[in-house]
Amino acid sequence: MKQISKCIELGKIDRKSPFPPDMKDKDGAHELTRKALDDGIRPSDILDTALIPAMEIVGNKFSRNEIFVPQMLMSAKAMKTAMEHLRPFFQSGEAKRKGVFAIGTVAGDLHDIGKNLVAMIIEGGGWEVIDLGVDVKAEKFISCINEYPGCFIGLSALLTTTMENMKLTVEELKSKHPDTKILIGGAPVTDDFRKKVGADFYAPDPQGAVTYLNSVMAS
């Protein structure tokens, strides 16, 4: 478990991966996760003991500006490589996730780097993530809520010009599903804007979103 966690924290995807240099030719998240399953370790234990703690470390480092987007993307890729081995167990119901989080960039906005980072960190935090993509209209979010009752919604915007669409999306979702928790984020977004539009949480960074989701589920 410690080896898997280290590989994810440092972005060691598999044996072929040249990064980081001091782990060259060593097994990565891919091989070690497969070995753990073959050795009889439960998927939920791998998730709880290795993946979630590692991604929490990565998220906190990013929040403190100790690592930057390239390192975070490498860690996220290592995490997703490990998750590919675990996903069949979650899909079969043999292992459980904390809940469902659906995320998309709002209508009129085609930027996805921030959205992708948030999706990766939240998935690494033990959640099932539904990535709705970019330029997502309110109707698509509503369909997702209907398909996954009780899911959380994440809205992303990078442009000040699309913040109005974020406001309209929040209003429409709340009118149809008032109990749905909506998280918003993006470069121009602030907590004051969140209060103005009626969303439930503003996440300045991915780890903040994970912390909020976990706190709601624990309450």
- Torsion sign (Cα): 208, 211, 217, 219: negative
Helix (H) or strand (E) holding 206: helix 206-218
Q: What is the pLDDT of residues 78-113, one digit of tens each?
A: 999 999 999 898 888 877 889 999 999 999 999 998
In tens, the pLDDT along 125-163 reads 999 999 999 999 999 999 999 999 999 999 999 999 999
Q: How far is residue 135 from each of residues 32, 78, 157, 163, measured CA to CA in Å?
A: 37, 28, 10, 12
Q: How many domains does the chain have?
A: 2
End-of-domain residue from the set 42, 65, 96: 96
CATH number at residue 129: 3.40.50.280
Check the CA dihedral 184-149-215-91 and report its sign. negative
Same domain, 111 and 160: yes
- Sign of the CA dihedral running 182, 188, 194, 196: negative
Q: What's the pTM value of the predicted model, to 2 decimals?
A: 0.85
Per residue in 1-29, pLDDT tens?
Answer: 999 999 999 999 999 999 899 999 999 99
12 three-class SS: coil
Is residue 107 domain-shared with residue 209, that is, in the same domain? yes
| Alpha-carbon gap, residue 168 to 142, rounded angstroms | 13
State whether 103 and 80 are in the same domain.
no
How many C-beta atoms surround the C-beta of residue 62 within 10 A?
Answer: 20
Q: 151 and 171 in contact (C-beta within 8 Å)?
A: no
Q: Of all residues in the chain, what percent carry a pLDDT higher than 70?
A: 100
* Domain identity same for 114 and 88: no
Nearest to 86 by CA among 77, 97, 76: 97
Same domain, 49 and 1: yes
Q: Are residues 32 and 106 both part of a single domain?
A: no
pLDDT at site 94:
78
65 & 101 share domain: no
CB proximity list for 41: less than 8 A, separation 6 or greater: 1
Region 192-216 average pLDDT: 94
Q: What is the pLDDT of residues 45-72, one digit of tens each?
A: 999 999 999 999 998 999 899 999 899 8
- When the pLDDT of each residue in the chain is averaged and rounded to a whole number, the result is 94
Same domain, 126 and 184: yes
Measured CA to CA, the distance from residue 59 to residue 169 in angstroms comes to: 27
Give pLDDT, residue 92: 82
Q: What is the CATH number of the domain that holds 91?
A: 1.10.1240.10
In this structure, the answer to whether residues 110 and 213 fall within a common structural domain is yes
Q: Tell me, what's the pLDDT at 90? A: 84
User: Which residue among 66, 96, 126 closes a domain?
Assistant: 96
CA separation for the pair 198, 211 (Å, rounded): 20
- Quick count: other Cβ atoms within 10 Å of Cβ 47? 22
pLDDT at 218: 87
pLDDT at 141: 98
Residue 48 domain boundaries: 1-96
How much is the pLDDT for 96? 84
Q: Which of 96, 124, 149 is the last residue of a domain?
A: 96
pLDDT of amino acid 181 = 98
Chain centroid to Cα 37, Å, comes to: 23
Same domain, 150 and 82: no
Task: With CA atoms as reference, report the closest residue to 155 among 104, 195, 205.
Answer: 104
